[in-house]
Amino acid sequence: MDQTSNPFADIGDMETFYERVAPYNLGCGWRSEDRDPGGKTYSSPYPNAHWKYADVRPALDAAAKLISAEDAGRRILMCVNPVEGGGKPGIGPTLFHAYQMVLPGETAPSHRHPMHALRVILDATKMYSVVEGEKTLMETGDVVLTPGGMYHSHIHDGDDPAYWLDGLDAPFTRALHLVIFEPHPDVYEPVKVVAEVSPFRFSWSDIQTMLDKAEDDPEGYFPRRVRLDTATMPTLGVYVQRLEAGQTTRMYRTNANTSFAPMQGSGVSIIEGEEIHWNRGDVFAAPTWRWIEHRADEDSVLFTMTDAPLLEFAKYYKFEGS
């Protein structure tokens, strides 16, 4: 290239260089505004956040008077982390939670999407999920899975409103630009079988049996804890842990994003020095590399959802104890 065709040949200062290089969609690695603001430790712009079931449930009751589950598709109130600058619904960069409610006699239409989803059932009797034609109970205390790509709907045959907490990897899927919702061509997927036992349902009684057989972490970071099998949903790690009244866990942190949802009891969790006083049905978020410890005020059970499997797959995962 000769000097007459070289747009950079006569540059004598950096400001001119920046102006000339910009049209080529190039960034300068030595300039802070052109590179990712990496540091010496993991960090996240997402603050700790806490959503209270006591606030959300009456809001859902009000919404039910204004819109049906059929018209809404899903009558949900999404948890939106108050990250600076705002953002899409989600409790962090990879995890999403929403509260959902279905009235007696209602059916939420069938649809599918790439996102992996689960339900932590807060209050429900004779509530059902239909996944790929399999009708399965989803009652108080259950954890129900809906792997991505599977048609699913919800049918309420009980007498009282049903409430649960949804958990998805939607922000991660959104970052890959893979979000799509496909309604079932028949609106409601036909029920092919009613399953008493399903690999997609962990009943409250089964979870308690698993916890009874589990042991406390000998190093004290976790109480009695079990991991639920989510092999069909490899982006999400799911745990349930039991704390006895007065039990306090040892502080730890990981570079994973984590959410906690009390399924029973009450207590306080300290996330990077901030006290979060929780009760049954709440959900709260602990973003990347925040110190975490729990203290139970009464016998309690905590559901946990994390993106740790993603980090483990990429060999990024880190854990540090106090």
Using a 10 angstrom Cβ sphere, with 0-12 exposed, 13-18 middle and 19 or more buried, the burial of residue 180 is exposed
Q: Is the pTM of this model over 0.95?
A: no
Q: How far is it, in rounded angstroms, from Cα 104 to Cα 63?
A: 15
- In order along its 322 residues, the chain shows pLDDT tens digits of 555 689 999 999 999 999 999 999 999 989 888 877 777 889 899 999 999 999 999 999 999 999 999 899 899 999 999 998 777 789 999 999 999 999 999 999 999 999 999 999 999 999 999 999 999 999 999 999 999 999 999 999 999 999 999 999 999 999 999 999 999 999 999 999 999 899 999 999 999 999 999 998 999 999 999 999 999 999 999 999 999 999 999 999 999 999 999 999 999 999 999 999 999 999 999 999 999 999 999 999 999 999 999 999 999 999 999 9
Q: What is the pLDDT of residue 36?
A: 76
C-alpha gyration radius of the chain:
23
Q: φ and ψ at 166, to 5 degrees?
A: -85, 150
Q: What is the pLDDT of residue 2?
A: 54
Measured CA distances, 139 to 43, 46, 161, 302 (Å):
38, 32, 12, 17
Task: Please count the other Cβ atoms lying within 10 Å of the Cβ belonging to residue 27.
Answer: 11
Tokens of 161: 């409103």
The helix (run of H) or strand (run of E) holding residue 51 is strand 49-51
Q: Would you say how long the chain is, in residues?
A: 322
Walk me through the domains of the chain, giving residue ranges and CATH numbers: 3-32 (no CATH), 49-202 (2.60.120.10), 207-321 (2.60.120.10)
Q: What is the pLDDT of residue 216?
A: 87
Contacts of 246 (CB under 8 A, 6+ apart): 295, 296, 297
| Among 280, 288, 284, 287, CA closest to 269 | 284
Q: What is the pLDDT of residue 39?
A: 78
